[in-house]
Structure 1
Amino acid sequence: MTISNIVIKKISPAQLFMGSALLVNGGNYLYNLALGRILGPEAFAEAALLITLLLVLSFIGMTFQLVTAKFAVLLSEEDYSHFQNTIYTYSLAFGMAIGIMVIYFAPELQILFQTQNAWMFTIFGVGIPIYFLMSVNRGKYQGFQNFGKLSFTYQTEMWSRLIITVLLLILLPFEPAILVALGIGLSFLFGLIPMDFKEVTIFTKNRLSKANTKKVLQFIGLTAGYELTQIIINNSDILLVKHYFDALEAGLYASLALIGRVVYFVAWMFVMLLLPKVVQKHKDGEPTVPVLSKYIGFIGVLSLGIVMACYLFPGTIINLLFGEAYLSMAPLLWQYALATSLFAISNIFAYYFLSLDHYIPVILSGILGVSQVLLIVLFHSSLTMIVQIQIIVMVALLVAQALYFFSKSIK
């Protein structure tokens, strides 16, 4: 047996997924950095808008992924086969509805976000139904803890988007935003690999029982509510900056956000591992708090390191990643990283309670997410003010989630 085979055997599926998730995050950052350097701040503002819309889409898709993952653990084999048909039908129908709306309102979106054309939204809308099918596919792998296939589907999506988009920008003389949208749409097709549609029948009469359907719909509602708060908190700042500021400032802010959010994207891989473990332990009657404590510790240490690096070397980090054109954002880098770190930690609390069907954390996140939007709408005289508003809101969110956790622990 070779040394490489021994090492591979000692790597657990969860460790394989974490390594893959780090590679995916690195690839996504490489994608963003390539766009920033190729396009420059003003053109990058429109590309960053599409990336933000992709993040919004990923949060909505996460609803279907988490629902699929949870009920893959909870349901019997027979019930799961009926559930599978139901969830694919729901995701396809919902994806088509959202896609049609984006295509129909493309001209209005162009005006709202001050973009060069509406075609970027139209192309993006066409790919939305595929994304939701991909999300259910991933949920199956996550629920059954098939981390090898789950890792592969993220890899195929990320690398195809990076390679296709860069090639399109180099080879074709079209509007950059259109080419970026096309690259994103094509990557959804690659994200379906590996496909697992065996024994799946869309729009079949073989459905879940009424009792299980009720449970599924309740969890869809709960998860969708929380993912909506994620969209508001994690993306509203970029969308509002694109609306209120000129293209240059919006592009500079987008570069700041992409660097500062690194801790959030790393935290995401822990969420993927957290949910099925908590659901399984709760099902087996075992304590779940040690799982939460473990992941809070990981994210806390990671966050501290990233914030300190952004505080000590902001100019070096921005110049290395995006270039001199973006250096004016250096003083804000550590502050944005702090806001994102606070959100990432509170997010671990929220997904923990979400897996246990607790509603209060979703409501707390919703209230503070709306508060963030209202505060930015009212106070947006500078980019500094927008970042500092987010720090205040994220401190409040983390304190609220921690207090809820301790109140439940005491009970």
Structure 2
Amino acid sequence: MISVIFVNGGNYLYNLILGRVLGPKEFADAALLITFLLVLSFVAMTFQLSTAKFTVLFDHIIFKNFINIIYKYATIIGSVFGILLIVLSTLFQDFFNTQSYQMFIVFGIGIPIYFIMSVNRGIFQGNKKFVSLSITYQGEMLSRLIITILLIYLIDIPSSILIALGISISFLFGLLPFESSDIEITKKHTLPSAKSRYVMRFFLLTAFYELTQIIINNSDILMVKHYFDAYQAGLYASLALIGRVVYFVAWMFVMLLLPKVVEKQKEGQPHTSILFKYVAYIMVLSVSIVTTCYFFPEFVINIMFGDQYISIAPLLWKYAIATSTFAISNIFAYYFLSLDQYIPVLISAVLGISQIILIIFFHDTLAQVVIMQIIAMVVLLVFQLLFFIKHQRIT
């Protein structure tokens, strides 16, 4: 938990420094790359969560076969995503109104490494090797922070390309330490058919849920970058970064929640108390952040980004409400995902698509974009709570 706070703090500092150094217009491109990184992290999280779950459930030979298979597919899928980003780089430049297309090429080269890194982290997470897991996150964060700042100050080319380069290089540092003891590249590995189906079902449903996370958590920034000019998009990116602090912290609890719940279920022990504990943590954090953003919005904006971004201050507490509501509902969703209950995944998908539709029809101002998200996230949380109550009555 301490390590995750440190890593999230470093990532936050990384964003704040870029916002102050670049200004709203250039920060809009930087924020787009950071959003792409978040999108990538959600996709790669499918591999990490699947690896973590089956590291707990599988033993010996079956585990070794599983690890080799998951590494193989992580490499293939990561390469496909990377190639697609490179091939479509000019189209992305036109759609998102960016300064260059080269930033997508540089970013795409690093994607396969990120997917391999995520499987490695899943092994540490499932085995509860939290020291090793912490080192991989710290290495990625610190290298990205230091390398990016050095590149910006030392090399005179568009900042977006330098930021993409810093991100890609940081993936290499995130590979350390690397758990290689069970990797056998030259051998063919298979799983028993029943276990293979179980893995595939969990993987596909987790991937579907991570897709809903991408939609809910990042579609607003991508759509604002498309619908608004660079200055407005930069302002919104700063708003999103501040408002999402509660969501970043919530990830800390997701990392700890899944292995504990799977283990309790495996042993036939009750596990709702774990859920309640983490939900309580997030609620306390959410109330604190929303209250601060409501009473001291200009102070928060000034401290974090400077007076160039002060015009966005009135929306800060509203955006914090949207992200806090999403963070709480997300804890419920991952809890049920670890129990092989997938209806919350469908609920999230429907509400994620609803959020996009609402923003498509109501985006005259940034305030409208934020209000649409609040509506979608409140409805999502209500449905998650109703499903939890129904599930408790059945069990």
Contact 1:85/1:207 (CA < 8 Å) preserved in 2? no
Which amino acid letter does the alignment assign opposite residue 147 of structure 1? Answer: F
Structure 1: gaps of 5 or more residues: 1-17
Partner of residue 220, structure 1: 203
Structure 2 residue corresponding to 1:143, chosen from 123, 126, 129: 126
Cα distance change on mapping 1:170 and 1:209 into 2, 3 Å: same
1:336 offset after TM fit, Å?
0.4
Tell me whether 1:103 sits opposite 2:115 in the alignment.
no
Partner of residue 4, structure 1: none
Q: Aligned equivalents of 2:144 and 2:76: distance in 1?
A: 25
Structure 2 residue corresponding to 1:206, chosen from 178, 189, 194: 189
Partner of residue 273, structure 1: 256
1:197 offset after TM fit, Å?
1.5
CA-to-aligned-CA distance 1:307-350 (integer Å, 9 cap, x gap): 10111110000001000000001000000011000000000000
Partner of residue 11, structure 1: none
Partner of residue 53, structure 1: 36
Partner of residue 354, structure 2: 371
Q: Which residues of 2 match residues 253-402 of structure 1 at below 5 A?
A: 253-402=236-385
Q: Aligned equivalents of 2:271 and 2:182: distance in 1?
A: 34
Partner of residue 50, structure 2: 67
Q: TM-score, normalised by structure 1?
A: 0.95
How many pairs are equivalent?
394
CA-to-aligned-CA distance 1:108-165 (integer Å, 9 cap, x gap): 1111101111100001100000000000000000000000000110000000000000
Partner of residue 232, structure 1: 215
Tell me whether 1:161 sits opposite 2:105 in the alignment.
no
1:208 offset after TM fit, Å?
1.5
Which amino acid letter does the alignment assign opposite residue 66 of structure 1? Answer: L
Contact 1:71/1:143 (CA < 8 Å) preserved in 2? yes
Contact 1:73/1:280 (CA < 8 Å) preserved in 2? yes
Which amino acid letter does the alignment assign opposite residue 55 of structure 1? Answer: L
What stretches of structure 1 move > 3 A for 4+ residues in a row? none
Contact 1:89/1:203 (CA < 8 Å) preserved in 2? no
1:203 offset after TM fit, Å?
6.8
SS at match of 1:347: helix
Cα distance change on mapping 1:355 and 1:384 into 2, 3 Å: same
Which amino acid letter does the alignment assign opposite residue 259 of structure 2? Answer: P
Tell me whether 1:20 sits opposite 2:3 in the alignment.
yes
Partner of residue 169, structure 2: 186
Contact 1:86/1:202 (CA < 8 Å) preserved in 2? no
Please report the RMSD computed on the Cα atoms of aligned residues, expressed in angstroms: 0.7
Partner of residue 227, structure 2: 244
Partner of residue 60, structure 2: 77
Q: Percent identity?
A: 60
Q: Aligned equivalents of 2:303 and 2:189: distance in 1?
A: 55
Q: Aligned equivalents of 2:300 and 2:106: distance in 1?
A: 33
Q: Aligned equivalents of 1:279 and 1:66: distance in 2?
A: 11
Contact 1:350/1:361 (CA < 8 Å) preserved in 2? yes
Q: Aligned equivalents of 1:110 and 1:198: distance in 2?
A: 42
